[in-house]
Structure 1
Amino acid sequence: MKKAVYIVLLVSLTSNVFAQARKKKQQPKKEVKAETKATRADTVLPTRTVIVTSAFQPSLKTTAKINFSGASPLPDSVRPVLQYNVPAQNLSFTYQSPALKPLAQNIDTSVHWENAGYLKAGYGNFTSPLLQAGVSLGDGVKSAINLRGYYTSSKSAVNEFQRFSKAGAEGIGIFSSPNNKNEWTGRVFFDNNTQYQYGFQPDTLKFSKDDLRQSFSTLGGSVALRNKTTNDAGINYNPAVSLNMFGDNHGARESNFVIKAPISKDFGENFSFNIGLTADITSYKSDTSSIDNTLYYLTPSVTYKTENFKAIAGITPSWDNNEFAMLPNIGVEFKLSEKKFIAQAGYTGYFNKTSYQYLASVNPWLQQPKFLLNTKMNELYAGFKGSVGSHLTYNAKVSYIEFANQPLFVNDTITGRSFEVLNESAMKAIRLHGELGYTVQEKFSLLAGATINRYSGLEDNIKPWGLVPMEINASLRWQIFKDFTLKSDLFFWDGANYRFKDLSYGKLDPALDLNAGVEFKVLPQLKGWVQINNIFNNQYERWKQYPVLGFNVMAGVIWSFGDIKTVMAK
């Protein structure tokens, strides 16, 4: 503003000077001289003073500031109530995943079901042909069917009667009901085992093949029904019926008819009630005897189960050939802290049904039985099981067992080539059992198990004839490369006690049998395989006077194909 005032004053003075000069030029020259004198006499201009009374400078008004307080709010102890609205689930699946049970085949919809088949053929050094075939049918959702057939045989080049053959066929089907709430399981099978009683002494005796031939055939089937989901009443059921016909080449015939009807009902989340009915009826006939062997029992029990604890309390009233017996059924399991370690203990009783079919599966060189007595066992046990990480599992148990009517096997008193069945009315045993497994997906698995029995307190026999005191098994499956798999099995057991034909007795030597094999891909649908059995060529005896075959090698191929309908159409 001051500069503006100064400029105004300067302009005003300048304008005044120029105005006076212009007037002088307009006057006559004579007057100019007089004016000039006069002007010279008054050469001092009057002083002009400009007084600035105020200087204006605009400014903003000071605004009020907000003061923030740093004090924290008071805590709110009232729990908020959250309202959840879960919409109705309208998804419906074709198949409901069942619980894990030891069925022959479980349909898993997470894996795409494909109908496929295979044909396996091979040959070995003991004139051992091998032929297997299998095929799967169905859609994998409503039905799944597996068909399988097999044949193999071997014979020694030294002993013409040291030979055997096995042949059979089997069909297993699983069918879902139309409403997808129940599942039917069916099985039909045929099995034939033929061997010869080559263990006679002295070996100079002469017998025909018909005299020494032991051939057992079984034809049977079973049907079972179970619910895949618990019904509205909280009841689960799984009834099953089976029938098989068994016979030998010496005129003996046996039928086994079994009905099982287990039912369970849940009460809340922790309690459940279980009851089952079992009827096992056996009818045996031979040229010299006729035996009816019946076994009925009920299994009512109550189960209490939480996340870390499980207890079962029940009884088993039974009728063994009309003889009543009450058996216990008590057990507990509890998990220690958060570790995958479960301790278990219990006291239970159960039966092993004795039939001609069962005895022949244990010792195929036996004579026709003269009696059939079921084995009753009461077992008091304690142990633990669990896993370490995601690959290692373990299981160990120690038991005290009381046996009643245990079948034993001794050589006959003439040549020793056949075995008589004896009965031990009462004996005791301390049993140690352990299992160990290490698995990595489907690429590697190592499983091992051991069982040790110490028998005592026999009332009718000196020794437990034919019973193995210790047994160790191991199995290895290793996919070394994508198309190359190694398989191996190990069997070891301590020799059983035997009674010789002259009534002397002893103990067989321990046995070790190691097997190994490989399987590799040759073509996309063709695989080759090699199997070596009894690598150490140990001709041990499981039964007195019956040495096994020695070193055995077999080789062959496996052809895999797709849908059998497509293959047959081509």
Structure 2
Amino acid sequence: ITDADQQAFVDLLLPMVEAAFDRAGFYGYHPSIDTVLQQDDIRQTYLKLDGRLKMGSMHKDSLHLIWKGTLDYLYTYDFYQDFEHAAILDANRSQRLRSGITAGLGISGAYYYTSESIDSGNNIVVGLNPWVGKTTSDYTYRLGFGLVVNADGDKTTPHFYPEGLLQINMVEGILMPYFGFDGRLQVNNFRSMAEENRYITPGLKVDNTSHKIRGYVGFKGSFSRELSYDLRGSYSVIDKMPFFVNDTTQILGNTFDVVYDNLQLIRIHGELNYRQTERLSTLLSLTYDSYIMDGIEHPWHKPNLVVSLDEKFNLKNKIIVDAGLYYVGKRYAPGTQLDADIITLKGFVDLNLGLEYRYTKILSGFVRLNNILGTRYQVWNQYPGMGFNLLFGFTYAL
């Protein structure tokens, strides 16, 4: 607590530690291949150890400087002794000036060190994001830019991303049109690629993706205290987007490599949120994507339509029940040596149910019922999804 001439403030320092073990198997080889593989031939496991430190200060007086930040350490290790150490810093400082304008500065940094089986060099990303903005009862605006430098091995590349947002409270709380523009650098590190596709070729190195510019326009608001909405459309220009394809350098083709393309992406996204009570909420969302590719025929394994209906019940932050009904549209995969034509993966419907009991703040148990409808589908080419399955366990976080 400061002296009488200053307002009270709170310093935050919240550590967190998590661990996870994910077991996979490269079982997705072409059905025409006459072979029987042993478990050790297709085994893959991922060990993940994470630590997070949250820091910050908050003043009751909005004219004081406010800062907050997180420092993450992520360790990933697989069955083939590929590993990655990742240290990620994300910090923000802001201060409201007497004019009512708020000025801020975002600072980010990430360092990725991998085994030589993935990359002999290091991937370093450093970013600055200065901005100014203001919020009133009638409007909100924000202007700034992001300057990002990526040192990946022997190559250093600067990126500049302008940022702007204007939101107008046209009908208070009911209709708020907004539009803006931004951009970002997407880091495609070992952890993120393995979480997106567990069946990547061991030791896969993926280059980063630059979302050079995104322009968007939308409307959001509420029909009542319980029912709110958000509808927006966007247009993006993206360089070096990776798409997963079966690794044809192997006879079985049961792991995935990536191919890159520059593209334009038109996206329409809508959300309808119905919050019946503080404990019970329903979210309906829809995303439609249209890709304009530069080189490859289709955005491999990317659906053009995803619709989801999520229901969540939270009883005193102790018992949490969630149910999700999803539709994922058709996707395409390139033909392999055994499939000359382009492969079409049909759209599918999936229904999941989960229950979590939080015994304490650091210990909880969970049960998940997946694919309750028993739908037969493929998320990735040659990988039929599991039928109805049950997953249970516990989580422990310091």
Alignment TM-score, normalising by the size of structure 2: 0.84
Per-residue CA deviations over 1:240-291 (Å, capped at 9, x if unaligned) read: 2211211111121111111222111111262011111111111222437423
The residue that corresponds to 1:257 in the other structure is: 87
Structure 1 residues 341 and 451: alpha-carbon distance in aligned structure 2, compared to 1, 3 A threshold:
same
**Structure 1, unaligned stretches of length 5 or more?**
1-95, 97-178, 520-528, 559-570
Q: Is the 8 A contact 1:291 1:371 kept in 2?
A: no
Q: Any idea what SS the aligned residue of 2:122 has?
A: strand
| 1:423 to 2:260 alignment | yes
Q: What CA deviation, in whole Å up to 9, does each residue of 1:340-374 have, x standing for no partner?
A: 32111001011221101000000001113553321
1:277 alignment partner in structure 2: 107
Q: State the match for 2:22 in structure 1.
A: 193
Cα distance in 2 between the residues matched to 1:180 and 1:306: 25
With over 3 angstroms needed to count, the CA separation of the structure-2 counterparts of 1:555 and 1:255, relative to structure 1, is closer
1:329 counterpart residue number = 163
Cα RMSD, aligned residues only = 2.8
**Code of the aligned partner of 1:513:** D
- TM-score, scaled to structure 1: 0.60
Q: What secondary structure is seen at the aligned counterpart in 2 of 1:465?
A: coil
What is the deviation of 1:443? 5.3
Indicate the residue corresponding to 1:365 in structure 2: 199
Offset, 1:233: 5.7
Specify whether residues 207 and 485 from structure 1 end up closer, same or farther in structure 2 by C-alpha distance, changes over 3 A only: closer
Q: Secondary structure at the match of 1:398?
A: strand
Deviations 1:36-55 (A, max 9, x none): xxxxxxxxxxxxxxxxxxxx
Q: Please report how far the alpha carbon of residue 486 of structure 1 lies from its aligned counterpart in structure 2 after TM superposition.
A: 7.9
| 8 Å contact kept, 1:415–1:501 | no
> Match of 2:183, as an amino acid?
G
Counterpart pick for 1:489 among 324, 327, 331: 324
Amino acid at match of 2:120: S
**How far has the Cα of 1:389 moved from its partner?**
1.4
| 1:433 and 2:269 correspond | yes
2:382 matches 1:545: yes
Q: Per-residue deviation at 1:531?
A: 6.7
Provide closer, same or farther for how the CA distance between residues 258 and 274 of structure 1 changes in structure 2, counting only shifts above 3 A.
Answer: same
Contact 2:206 2:258 (8 Å CA) reproduced: no
Give the number of the structure whose residues are more often strand, by fraction.
2
Contact (CA 8 Å) 1:291, 1:372: kept in 2 or not? no
* Contact kept in structure 1, 2:63 and 2:98, CA below 8 Å: no
Pairwise mapping of residues 30-69 of structure 1 onto structure 2 (< 5 A)?
none
* TM superposition shift of 1:536: 3.0
2:122 — aligned with what? Answer: 292
8 Å Cα contact 1:369-1:421 kept in structure 2: no
C-alpha separation in 2, matches of 1:379 and 1:233: 32
| Equivalent residues of 2:9, 2:57 under 8 A apart | no
Report how far residue 506 of structure 1 moved: 2.3
| Aligned mates of 2:16, 2:312 — CA distance in 1 | 28
User: Helix, strand or coil: the match of 1:395?
Assistant: strand
Looking at structure 2, the residues matched to 397 and 337 of structure 1 have their Cα atoms a distance apart, in angstroms, of: 18
Q: Following the alignment from structure 1 to structure 2, what is the Cα–Cα distance between the partners of residues 209 and 255?
A: 28
How do residues 210-289 of structure 1 correspond to structure 2 at under 5 angstroms? 210-230=40-60, 234-268=64-98, 270-287=100-117, 289=119
| C-alpha distance in structure 1 between counterparts of 2:171 and 2:70, whole Å | 39
| Residue of structure 2 in register with 1:410 after alignment | 245
Q: Which has the larger radius of gyration?
A: 1
8 Å CA contact 2:118–2:203 kept in 1: the answer is no
Q: Paired residue for 2:311, among 469, 473, 476?
A: 476
1:514 paired with 2:351, answer: yes
Percent identity over paired residues: 23
Task: Establish whether residue 376 from structure 1 lines up as the match of residue 206 from structure 2.
Answer: no
Distance 2:41 2:345 in 1: 27
Is the CA contact 1:473–1:489 (under 8 Å) kept in the aligned structure 2? Answer: yes
Superposed, 1:386-397 pairs within 5 Å as 386-397=221-232
Deviations 1:64-108 (A, max 9, x none): xxxxxxxxxxxxxxxxxxxxxxxxxxxxxxxx9xxxxxxxxxxxx
Deviations 1:314-344 (A, max 9, x none): 1111112221121111111110133432111
Contact 2:149 2:159 in 1 (8 A): yes
Aligned match for 1:498, one of 329, 333, 341: 333
CA distance in 2, matches of 1:345, 1:281: 33
Contact 2:19–2:50 (CA under 8 A) maintained in structure 1: yes
- Equivalent position to 2:289, from 453, 465, 468: 453
The alpha carbon displacement at 1:203 in A equals 5.3
CA distance in 1, matches of 2:311, 2:371: 16
- Runs of at least 4 residues off by over 6 Å: 553-556
Per-residue CA distance 1:174-223 (angstroms, 9 max, x = gap): xxxxx862111211111110111111124531322222111111112121
Which residue is 2:359 aligned to? none
Give SS of 2:121's match.
strand
Structure 2 counterpart of 1:333, which letter? Answer: Q
| Alpha-carbon shift at residue 554 of structure 1 (Å) | 8.1
* Gapped regions of structure 2 (runs ≥ 5): 1-6, 357-365
Query: Which amino acid letter does the alignment assign opposite residue 451 of structure 1?
Result: T
Q: Give the drift of 1:468.
A: 2.1
